[in-house]
Structure 1
Amino acid sequence: MESLTAATALFLGMHWIVSGSPLRNVVVARTGEGPFKAGFALIIAISIAWMGWAYAHAPYVETWGTAAGLKPLSWVLMALAFVLLAASATAKNPTTLGSVPPDQVQARGIVRITRHGGLFGLGLWGLSHFLVNGDWASHLLFGSFAFQGLIAPLNLDRKYRQRFGAPWESFARQTSYLPFVAILQGRNRLVPGEINWLAVAVGLGLFGLTLAYHQAWFGASAL
């Protein structure tokens, strides 16, 4: 369990202590933006691989056990996660690694629903697994992804507000952190024709495949 704890600490620490704090500017000033992003991506990849290996070798220490009754809810969350991840991958969005300035983006398609579709997809994926897997190793692994996906958007909003100023505020007024909030508040509207339905279909297809082959691929049935 110590190895998994260290791996999750590296994963979260890189996001919150290094990239998500003023320390980022200190490091970037010395290394440059490109080398920082490359080094950050490499360390995150290493931490995720380490987390997977440590989880596979962690002892099983039960909390609430396998919550079979929550599996239908888990399936719904997983389907939403796949759709959000697939649809956001093709959307032009300043929250995607800050690659596009907010004054060059119109809130369209999935971005009308949430400006953090990819992170929310990750968070829902983690949450869906956290709910049905009641053991400490699963809490560490899936809880880390749930926390990063569902809470990190708040920190990203803060960073981009500082970086872009008024253009970010204008973009943020058209969108929302929580899905559909901007639409419900009348700050935006749902336009089905703008949504990449092919990406949605791909996401649902990948969800179906994962559900069907979860036992073969990951050693545990999702059904």
Structure 2
Amino acid sequence: MEWFGFALAFVGFFLGHSVPVRPPFRPILVRMLGPAGFGAAYSALSVAILAWLIMEAQRAPFVLVWHWAPWQNHFVLATMLPVCLIVALSVGRPNPFSFGGARNAAFDPARPGIVRLARHPLLVALALWSGAHLVANGDLAHVLLFGTFFTFALFGSRHVDRRKRREMGQRWDLLREKVLARPLGDALFPPSRETVLRIASGVAIYVILIALHPIVIGVDPIP
């Protein structure tokens, strides 16, 4: 029974992420909430379930898998800055290739932004976040937690690609070819005012997370 809460949160995580996006629930919810409302509601549900799962992982019995070392904190701190930047550059921007894109009809393949680097930037951020925290948390509950997220992020892009290709048909391939034709520098340059603001927001989020981590999570990330 000591693991019941953690197991229940895991079940809630998988149900919360799979049921709303499958027929017949997704079409019904989109009609009720609209595409933007559905995206906002789904994101809010995902964050709430994630918070619940992290809380239950902290409550689970401690079973050591590997020992902690000071370098692991530095590794997490170094990884979390690009995570925050990727999130800041991705959220609320058009991205017809992935989930969570906003105003996808306005996507311009000649100015793809961060989509030039990755079709699924939020999954890249999730992989970096979970991979770094997996290294730094060697107890069984957190290994299961972050290991699951890491695996989900690595293989989730294939699932999203298949679903989007079914939905978009030939347009998916045409857009992808146009995006890949752009130089890699198009991801950040020339730096528009919006890009600069997003980068500044990413740095601010990074600082805020470091400040709040010992209060919310109970662990100070600064060695």
1:189 to 171, 175, 184: 184
Q: Give the C-alpha shift of residue 41 in structure 1.
A: 5.4
Q: Give the C-alpha shift of residue 25 in structure 1.
A: 2.9
Normalising by structure 1, we get a TM-score of 0.77
Q: Deviations over 1:35-63 (max 9, x none)?
A: 59487557545532431331232111110
Q: 1:28 to 1:86 in 2, by over 3 A?
A: closer
- Distance of 2:114 and 2:183 partners within structure 1: 12
- The answer to whether residue 21 in structure 2 is matched with residue 33 in structure 1 is no
- Distance of 1:79 and 1:91 partners within structure 2: 20
Q: Give the C-alpha shift of residue 6 in structure 1.
A: 2.6
Which region of structure 1 is more displaced relative to structure 2, 126-135 or 2-11? 2-11
**Hey, what does 1:92 align to over in structure 2?**
94
Which consecutive residues of structure 2, in runs of 5 or more, have no partner in the other structure? none
Q: Give the C-alpha shift of residue 33 in structure 1.
A: 3.1
**Hey, what does 2:74 align to over in structure 1?**
72
- The answer to whether residue 138 in structure 2 is matched with residue 139 in structure 1 is no
Normalising by structure 2, we get a TM-score of 0.77
- Distance of 1:48 and 1:161 partners within structure 2: 28
Q: Give the C-alpha shift of residue 161 in structure 1.
A: 0.3
Q: 1:44 to 1:35 in 2, by over 3 A?
A: farther
- Residues 83 and 203 in structure 1, CA contact (< 8 A), matched pair in contact too: yes
**Hey, what does 1:179 align to over in structure 2?**
none
- Residues 8 and 51 in structure 1, CA contact (< 8 A), matched pair in contact too: yes
- Distance of 1:7 and 1:103 partners within structure 2: 37
- Residues 57 and 142 in structure 2, CA contact (< 8 A), matched pair in contact too: yes
- The answer to whether residue 134 in structure 2 is matched with residue 130 in structure 1 is yes
Which consecutive residues of structure 1, in runs of 5 or more, have no partner in the other structure? 176-181
**Hey, what does 1:178 align to over in structure 2?**
none
Q: Deviations over 1:163-220 (max 9, x none)?
A: 0011111222345xxxxxx5xxx66431321461221122122213323443233211
**Hey, what does 2:219 align to over in structure 1?**
220
**Hey, what does 2:108 align to over in structure 1?**
105
Number of equivalent positions: 209
**Hey, what does 1:3 align to over in structure 2?**
5
- Distance of 1:158 and 1:174 partners within structure 2: 19
